[in-house]
Amino acid sequence: MSKTKKYTADGKKAQPHSLSSVLFTVFLWAYAIFSLYPLLWMIMYSFKDNTEIFQTNPFGLPKVWRFENYVNAWNQYDVPLYFKNSVVVGAGTVILTIICAMMFTFAVTRLNWKGREGARTLISTGQFIPVQAILLPVVQTVSAMGIMGTYWSLILPYAAINLAFSCMVYYGFFKGIPKEMEEAACIDGANIWQTFFLIIMPLVGPATMTIAIYVFLSAWNEFLLANVLVGTTAHMKTLPLGVLFFQGQFTTDWGSMGATMVIASLPAILVYCLFSEQVEGAMTTSGAVKG
């Protein structure tokens, strides 16, 4: 049951067809179109040629559906490479973040040691540090480590950035698991490692899922660090950089450019459509603590 069930959104008592409620509905639809149209426009122009995009038909559905734009983007330009890079970096970041965050939060919430509160506070300060500010030292660190031009140059910083958020999501989950779990495992003769991998890890599955989706999306779309870390390394570019690179190089072939943007966006949109609850949930948890 809604909290506002007796009212329409504009404040009048139930009069479904009053002028203001009609206007309000129109407004909701208008902004929905405003929010979606650029995306639809991109999809439409990924099927058009330059004449249609710029002269004959800039706004509507393509007259001829040119699927060859996708074939061109995939075969003639480096889209498969960018795609692979994005997948490797995204997957690597998710795995590393989850391993580190899960082990850390387990130790902080379930094991007895001095300084665990301090360690937790330390990691959580990461929430307040803007990526923009640490851009230069991170570049210096990555190049000092000699991993420039490898996948690690992106995976390690990305995992570090997502750590604070992931630990926070896990923290709530780990706190909710009854102490009896470890006691039972201990009595049954499981060692601490078995307890962690066989008992605790499956129990925090839903949190892992939320974190995986959130971290994947943020790595998939990341631009700031990727730009300074691999922006000039052709074979390491991820899709967000590929989209930009396209603009500089192939301004003559707008259809293929559109196709590349669709290819870059589709995985993220699919993830959102399939897991919209988790995506919104994850984003709002990150908000709950930052504030």
Residues in 120-179 at the binding interface with another protein, rule: CB under 8 A: 122-123, 125-126, 128-130, 132-138, 140-141, 156-157, 159-161, 163-164, 167
Of the candidate spans 60-68, 73-81, 204-212, 283-291, the one that interacts with another protein by CB under 8 A turns out to be 283-291
- Nearer to another protein by Cβ, of 177 and 228: the residue is 228
CA 20 – CA 25 distance, rounded (Å) = 9
38 binds another protein (CB under 8 A): yes
Q: Residues 13-32: x/- map of binding to another protein (CB under 8 A)?
A: xx-x-------xx--x--xx
Of the candidate spans 65-73, 87-95, 104-112, 201-209, the one that interacts with another protein by CB under 8 A turns out to be 104-112
| The one-letter amino acid at 93 | T
CA 7 – CA 10 distance, rounded (Å) = 8
CA 272 – CA 256 distance, rounded (Å) = 25
CA 214 – CA 119 distance, rounded (Å) = 23
Near another protein in 65-94, by CB under 8 A: none
95 binds another protein (CB under 8 A): no
- What is the separation of C-alpha 163 from the centre of its chain, rounded to a whole number of angstroms? 14
Query: Applying CB under 8 A, which of residues 88, 95, 199, 283 lies at the interface with another protein?
Result: 283
Binding-residue total with another protein (CB under 8 A): 105
111 binds another protein (CB under 8 A): yes
Q: Say if CB 8 and CB 18 are below 8 A apart.
A: yes
**Considering the complex, what minimum distance in angstroms separates the CB of residue 81 from another protein?**
16
**Considering the complex, what minimum distance in angstroms separates the CB of residue 275 from another protein?**
11
Near another protein in 243-282, by CB under 8 A: 243-244, 247, 257, 261, 264-265, 268-269, 271-273, 276, 279-281
**Considering the complex, what minimum distance in angstroms separates the CB of residue 8 from another protein?**
6
Near another protein in 45-64, by CB under 8 A: 54, 58-59
Q: Say if CB 63 and CB 49 are below 8 A apart.
A: no
Query: Applying CB under 8 A, which of residues 22, 23, 26, 36 lies at the interface with another protein?
Result: 36
| The one-letter amino acid at 73 | A
Q: In this structure, which long-range contacts are made by residues 66-72, counting pairs with CB atoms below 8 Å and at least 24 apart in sequence?
A: 66/255, 69/255, 69/256, 69/258, 69/259, 70/46, 70/256, 70/259, 70/262, 70/263, 72/253, 72/255, 72/256, 72/259
The contacts of residue 48 (CB under 8 Å, 6+ apart) are 57, 62, 66, 69, 254, 255, 258
